[in-house]
Amino acid sequence: MKKTVITLLLLATAFVCSEAKTRKTLFVIVDGIPADCIERLKPHTIMEIAEEGGYARAYCGGDVGMYSETPTISAIGYSNIITGTWMNKHNVRGNSNIQENYNYPTIFRIAKNQSRPVTTAIYSSWTDNRTVLLGEGKPETGNLKIDYVFDGYDNDKTNFPNKPGDFHIFDIDAHGCAEAAKNIRTNAPDLNWVYLWYTDDAFHIKGNGEHSDWSVTATDSLLSDVWEAVKYREKNNDEEWLVIIVTDHGRGNDGHNHGGQSARERTVWMATNLKKRNAQFGRPTLSHTDILPTICEFMDFDVPDDVLYELDGTSFYGKNDIYDLQAAQYDDKAILSWKCDNLKAAAWIYMATTNNKATGGKDNWQKVGEVPAPAGSCIIDLKKYGDSKFYKFAVRTMNNCITRQLHK
């Protein structure tokens, strides 16, 4: 009996220790690599990460022909990922002359708004990721401060002079990966973003072919040391790391260009070391906008309702009761429908008839319904809530929240 009690105590202690691991996140955006290219080449580091967790195709570009349709362009893709929203909210519409709507916070601002200290780092071949998309130091972002900054190399023509074929960009990617590996191994910030640029340039210049294939495998090799640094931290420290590798957009059929809504341009991919993924990972609904809520769920970040109700994605970590919310108008009624994974869940429906969030104001979210989640639908009589041309919906359960807009 005594031996049994001791064994149970040891198991309980091991469980508590396991639960007490400090969680860290690394997400990597590798620019412009088509999913079919990854699946054909099977790059070693990306596949090793996927073997620990999983690999899946996903989509970018929002909903074609609807309010959230989003061009498949680089900076727009990064913004989808770091805000968890589509272009109609974050307002990044291209790679230049960017007028971002900072009323939709990035994952870095969410991290810094936690009640506990969260250290952050960026390793980016494009400086605008920090200065413009994250908005570091801007009043609109609350003077966001990144703790560890490794960028600016694209503007450093002394150490990284222009080379034919844009090979200086590959040099910058290599330098950024080396700095990331060193900093993760030594300082292990809680939230890390690596951005690698060269693959997109290679495809733009050469299109589908041997050179672009080389750029993918060579960039994958650069990631090896970063991945090794994560494994070192997990082995030698009481840490658990979430790693997500993703691309920002696909490409047209010849590989040169992107920006449109063809199937190949809209198709992206994700590789993650996350073992405990839920069913969202691998569904046709998996998208860019799922990465931010996944990081928040893994890191146990508190997300205020006014931010949560604007997110366009669904976490692929943790429990999800419902997913794939749709909204349609029928006369003066809104018909909401969704899919359900939990037959015991209840669903609460909230609605706002304004879009004040977009201009820095607050929306009045009203509870307008409650149904069993397996019902999969709810009809809202819009006449009860005054005349409006714009409606926002959030359907919540105990475990997750999904959102949708309706424009009359």
Task: Kindly report the number of other CB atoms within 10 A of residue 243's CB atom.
Answer: 22
| pLDDT at res. 19 | 61
Residues 267 and 398 in one domain: no
* Burial class of residue 134 in the structure, from the number of CB atoms within 10 Å of its CB (0-12 exposed, 13-18 middle, 19+ buried): buried
Residues spanned by the domain of 395: 322-407
Give the closest residue to 337 by CA, choosing from 329, 388, 345. 329
Across the chain, which has 408 residues, the per-10-residue mean pLDDT values are: 46 52 98 98 98 98 97 98 98 96 98 98 98 98 98 97 97 98 98 98 98 98 98 98 98 98 98 98 97 98 98 98 97 97 97 97 97 98 93 98 94
Q: What is the CATH number of the domain that holds 287?
A: 3.40.720.10
Residue at 279 is within a domain: yes
Residue at 1 is within a domain: no
CA 361 to chain centre: 25
Q: What is the CATH number of the domain that holds 357?
A: 2.60.40.10
| pLDDT at res. 20 | 81
How far apart are alpha carbons 208 and 225 in whole angstroms? 27
**Strand ranges of the sheet holding 377-381, from the earlier edge strand across to the other edge:** 322-330, 333-340, 377-381
Which of 308, 338, 353 is the C-terminal boundary of a domain? Answer: 308
pTM: 0.94
Which of 282, 308, 334 is the C-terminal boundary of a domain? Answer: 308
Residues 370 and 290 in one domain: no
| pLDDT at res. 408 | 82
Determine contact, residues 266/250, Cβ cutoff 8 Å.
Answer: yes
Residues 280 and 387 in one domain: no
CA dihedral 199, 168, 128, 295 (to 10 degrees): 40
Maximum C-alpha span of the chain: 75
Residues 328 and 286 in one domain: no
| pLDDT at res. 1 | 47
| pLDDT at res. 146 | 98
Q: How many Cα atoms sit within 13 Å of 350 on the Cβ side?
A: 18
Residues 157 and 298 in one domain: yes
Residue at 41 is within a domain: yes
- pLDDT (tens digit per residue) in 4-19: 444 444 444 444 444 6
| pLDDT at res. 8 | 47
Residues 115 and 167 in one domain: yes
Residues 85 and 124 in one domain: yes
Which of 260, 285, 308 is the C-terminal boundary of a domain? Answer: 308
